[in-house]
Structure 1
Amino acid sequence: MGKKTCFGKIILCVLAFLIGSTVADLKLGFYEKSCPNAEKIVLAHVKKHIPNVPTLAAPLLRMTFHDCFVRGCDASVLLNDTSNNQAERNARPNLSLRGYDFIDEVKSLLEAECPGIVSCADIISLVARDSVVTTGGPYWKVPTGRRDGTISRASEALNNLPGANENFNALKTKFELKGLNIKDLVLLSGAHTIGITHCNTFTNRIYNFTGIGDQDPALDNDYAVNLRANKCKTPTDSTTIVEMDPSSSKNFDLSYYKLLVKRRGLFQSDATLITDSSSIAVINQLLKKSPLYFFAEFAKSMEKMGAIGVKIGTDGQIRKHCALVNR
């Protein structure tokens, strides 16, 4: 075994240890004494509004990914630009994020109940879980006690967020740097079962994959033809919405993985999951099991991701407004 390989394994072990230690410092029911109704207030707001706009559940879930992969789960994705800094929310991968107003509404309710107690970072995690559950998806534990960060840089979002056009090795590396493994990559990608996107995020795959007007050979031809004819009718379409899982877009289920093995994943980052034997093995195992197994495994990966780089104790702050650092 080479020195580089050994060193890499040591780094991954350290990351796993740090994440495990963080989980121990977060706590289920962290606000039980300081703000006993906190989680009830979040859940009530979600139950009141998400059934009316169920398509918001996917963006709110996506927000946890985009927050946790940059500086950890510290709500840095919510911060506004300042006069001398472009924040994460205005980085190109985050321009399509939605749900900021919803998070602000929940924060206002909690500030009215118990000022300066509940972090925006915890709100993101709780809202995502409750929104998914409200639309019939899996439940996962959300230990709380995260504190909010004070730094948000667009450049860090560009460097850390997994991209829609990345290959398997690039995705694997970005996940490993966060203490997540191949199984987590496959499971967390399953969130696309309720996701939507716009044509311009993948039209290169159906119109001009290598720059000569060709189609990505990894994409099922019939599906590509259908997309060109009925959805993305021009290569420059940036407004038409396409469901990531068109056969079952409103249900949190295994349909996304069934599409993957038929070569019908929209993004290259979806398609690449069937190019590696390890990830294929995870997909095949999911398809052999019941949806409840997928729910349970997805929950485990969400719990792992929710502990990435969290700020606890006296680190960070509890922001009064999620878009602004306290002064």
Structure 2
Amino acid sequence: MVLANFLGVVLLMELIAGGYRFGADGLSMNYYVFNCPLAEPIVRSTVTSALQSDPTLAAALVRMHFHDCWIQGCDGSILLDSTKGNTAEKDSPGNLSVRGFELIDDVKEQLENQCPGVVSCADIVAMAAREAVSWSGGPVYDIPKGRKDGRRSKIEDTINLPFPTFNASELVRVFGQRGFSAQDMVALSGAHTLGVARCSSFKTRLSDPVDPTMDSDFSKALAKTCSGGDNAEQPFDVTRNNFDSFYFQALQRKAGVLFSDQTLYNSPKTKAIVNNYAMNQAMFFFDFQQAMVKMSLLDVKEGSKGEVRADCRKVN
């Protein structure tokens, strides 16, 4: 843990040495230092309080950030509610398990009272995910701020989310299209050390014939879970609320919950990375934080390309 946190500091120092700035319109680590100095403390205290009451929110906040960034970039589009003429991203089948919207609303209300029209919803989502990772025992890292909120949120765009049925080659391909290496992809998949999957996401692995890549006892455990229906939940690893390397150790035991999890160990393209992370948690933490910073910069809206919503659920 000490080594992982040290590595996080090293990464931050490298980013600082690079001038803090990301992008032509000035994303920076210290974006809110002068125009809303309490932004980071408000996000941190509110998220911490929520996680103390419900530790399972950590996984939800990380998932929200990923699903936001993957579709149209990190622009808060996953927060927009559907309207009479438009079905938004959050109502897609792939996003029905995303939650934590009320927490984002709470943070936004406090920030609007403190410094109206300054802190974007997209930045709140990114900062909340960062806090969730560190609160759960994961790496401590920082991200550049200054994203603007997008105005588009359409259910049809979510077809581009990675599917739980993807094999390693498909995952490498789709992540590669967004600028991620195979190592980045496996590190980001490690976020599944937090949270649960619903039976609907893995029940096809239990069909006749049962997926042979699963341990036989584990397949029986999944079948027992699914006896509770499609919404029955199965933790990804034995410490569902702790950010650690147990997820990768589960893959080594052929106990990956989703097909897209277990395929990382079964494929020669990614097996060595899984083994490294299972053995060396500090390495996983370091690679994860770098991949998260990279993800947080996906197609961000800056300057006139977006807005700062007054209400995260609707455009201004």
| Same fold (TM > 0.5) | yes
In 2, Cα distance between the equivalents of 1:134 and 1:201? 27
The TM-score with structure 2 as length reference comes to 0.90
Which of 226, 232, 235 aligns to 2:226? It is 232
Match in the other structure for 1:223: 218
Match in the other structure for 1:325: 315
For 1:1-327, list aligned pairs within 5 A: 22=23, 25-158=26-159, 160-206=160-206, 208=207, 213-229=208-224, 231-233=225-227, 237-245=229-237, 247-289=238-280, 291-326=281-316
Secondary structure, counterpart of 1:50 in structure 2: helix
In 1, Cα distance between the equivalents of 2:22 and 2:244? 32
Contact 2:234 2:257 in 1 (8 A): no
Give the C-alpha shift of residue 24 in structure 1: 8.7
Match in the other structure for 1:5: none
Secondary structure, counterpart of 1:314 in structure 2: helix
Give the C-alpha shift of residue 28 in structure 1: 0.4
Contact 2:22 2:28 in 1 (8 A): no
Secondary structure, counterpart of 1:46 in structure 2: helix
What letter is aligned with 2:232? T
Contact 1:51 1:135 in 2 (8 A): no
**Deviation sequence 1:148-175 (CA, Å, 0-9, x none):** 00001111111x2111111222212221
Contact 2:25 2:302 in 1 (8 A): no
Residues 144 and 218 from structure 1, CA distance in 2 versus in 1: closer, same or farther, beyond 3 angstroms?
A: same
Structure 2: give runs of 5+ residues left out of the alignment: 1-20
What letter is aligned with 1:172? V
Aligned residues: 296
Secondary structure, counterpart of 2:311 in structure 1: coil
Give the C-alpha shift of residue 86 in structure 1: 1.2
Give the C-alpha shift of residue 276 in structure 1: 2.5
Match in the other structure for 1:4: none
In 2, Cα distance between the equivalents of 1:85 and 1:287? 44
Secondary structure, counterpart of 2:119 in structure 1: coil
Match in the other structure for 2:3: none
Match in the other structure for 1:3: none
In 2, Cα distance between the equivalents of 1:153 and 1:22? 26
Alpha-carbon RMSD:
1.6
| Range that drifts further, 305-314 or 247-256 | 247-256
Contact 1:140 1:302 in 2 (8 A): no
Give the C-alpha shift of residue 21 in structure 1: 5.8
In 1, Cα distance between the equivalents of 2:226 and 2:92? 25
What letter is aligned with 1:53? D
Contact 1:42 1:126 in 2 (8 A): yes
Structure 1: give runs of 5+ residues left out of the alignment: 1-19
Give the C-alpha shift of residue 323 in structure 1: 0.9
The TM-score with structure 1 as length reference comes to 0.87
What letter is aligned with 2:247? Y
Secondary structure, counterpart of 2:269 in structure 1: helix
Give the C-alpha shift of residue 318 in structure 1: 0.4
Give the C-alpha shift of residue 316 in structure 1: 0.6
Contact 1:118 1:318 in 2 (8 A): yes
In 2, Cα distance between the equivalents of 1:59 and 1:241? 14
What letter is aligned with 2:177? L
**Deviation sequence 1:220-249 (CA, Å, 0-9, x none):** 1111112224x2226xx123221111x222
Give the C-alpha shift of residue 43 in structure 1: 0.6
Give the C-alpha shift of residue 81 in structure 1: 1.2
In 1, Cα distance between the equivalents of 2:241 and 2:118? 34
**Deviation sequence 1:90-131 (CA, Å, 0-9, x none):** 111001111111111100010010010000000000011112
Residues 42 and 243 from structure 1, CA distance in 2 versus in 1: closer, same or farther, beyond 3 angstroms?
A: same
**Deviation sequence 1:257-302 (CA, Å, 0-9, x none):** 011122111111111112322311211222332x222211111110
